[in-house]
Amino acid sequence: MKNIFIAVFCLAGITCFSACDDWTEIENVDINTPGMQEQNPAAYAKYLQNLIAYKSSDHKVVYAWFDNSEKTPFSRGQHISDTPDSLDVISMMYPAELAEFELADMQTVRTKGTKVVYTISFDKIQKEYTEKVKEGTETGTFDTYLKSELDKQIGYAGNFDGLIAEYKGTNPIYMSAEQKAEAKKNQDAFFSVVSTWKTGNADKLLTFQGYPENLLEQTILTSCKHIILATDNVTDDAQLSVVARLAMVGAGVPTDRFVVAVSTASLDAADKQTGFYDTDRALLEAAYWTTEHSDDYTRAGLAIYNVQNDYYNAANTYLYVKSAINIMNPAPKK
């Protein structure tokens, strides 16, 4: 009986381990959690209607730059479709060679009244040219390089609802006559391409970014929906007003469309400067600044660099972005 018991026990053990091996085999399971759109299509349609009406109303506008460099996403934070619905404009930082999921996400946010754009930066093109000349990989003139880059980058526009034209440049007050002539020539080359594009795409969005006071006899600003001031490196909210005042020095600068720029906090926990005014969140402080009144210029809204960083909050995704939007555009009280 003892031998029989041992044999039966061993057989049961082998069977058990075999069954466990079958039970623990890993399989991919698709989990589809229905959202409001699937659960209550009528309510969702009404929500979209109200959302689009809100974005068409007089409110503080919100631009956001999104780092879309990851083409094989492993987090919802890498999808623009998961950004707050109340963003007005999303600028994709890498507009070339969009992945299929990016094109799908762009369509999703468009149903919410959000425009998807990209940025063409004169300063970035100029910096890249200078670096290539130093490396010996570029031997042509800047004029030729600028035209080539503009032709290439303007070619991305077909997938987008508009573009942001960035020009920081140098204050002409400190230029010699020769330097000023060179700057004027470069500006003309840059903005003529932008203006030609806008003329052929009147229904698409054009926004200026940079220092308006550094423009020389340019009329592009009148065609721009907003003017995003270069304030992402300021250290407190008082400096936002200083930059706005300096922008007004430029001849013919429209003062009814100023947007200030800030950054979200860095994902590097050791970085206590990016996205902060001292110890305060720059995003929130700048949002409060937009709600204050100015007699001679309009504080039209906020532009947010690296918006995707704010997705990663333990309490709530996009916690500080949503808070900033609510500060500028509080929900009406019943």
15 burial type by CB count under 10 A (0-12 exposed, 13-18 middle, 19+ buried) = exposed
Determine the angle formed by the axes of helices 122-135 and 177-200, rounding to 10 degrees.
120
What's the CA angle centered on 87, arms 82 and 88, to 5 degrees? 135
User: Helix, strand, or coil here: 9?
Assistant: helix
Provide the whole-model pTM.
Answer: 0.86
Under DSSP, the state recorded for 92 is E
At residue 269, the pLDDT reads 87
The amino acid occupying position 245 is: R
In SS3 terms, 241-271 reads as: HHHHHHHCCCCCCCCCCEEEEEECCCCCCCC
DSSP string computed for 102-135:
HHHHHHHHHTTT-EEEEEEEHHHHHHHHHHHHHH
Cα–Cα distance list, 153 to 122, 128, 190, 194, 263 (Å): 11, 14, 12, 11, 25
Q: For position 1, what pLDDT does the model report?
A: 35
pLDDT at residue 251 in the model: 86
Cβ atoms of residues 259 and 228 within 8 Å = yes
Give the per-residue pLDDT at 314: 83
**Which stretches of the chain are DSSP H helices?**
2-23, 36-39, 41-56, 100-110, 122-135, 142-154, 177-200, 238-247, 282-290, 319-328
Q: What is the pLDDT of residue 278?
A: 92
pLDDT tens for the 334 residues of the chain, in order = 344 344 444 444 544 444 444 444 544 444 455 556 667 788 888 999 999 999 999 999 999 999 999 999 999 999 999 999 999 999 999 999 999 999 999 999 999 999 999 999 999 999 999 999 999 999 999 999 999 999 999 999 999 999 999 999 999 988 999 999 999 999 999 999 999 999 999 999 999 999 999 999 999 999 999 999 999 889 999 999 999 999 999 888 999 999 999 999 999 989 989 999 999 999 999 999 999 999 999 999 999 999 999 999 888 999 999 999 999 999 765 4
pLDDT at position 141: 94
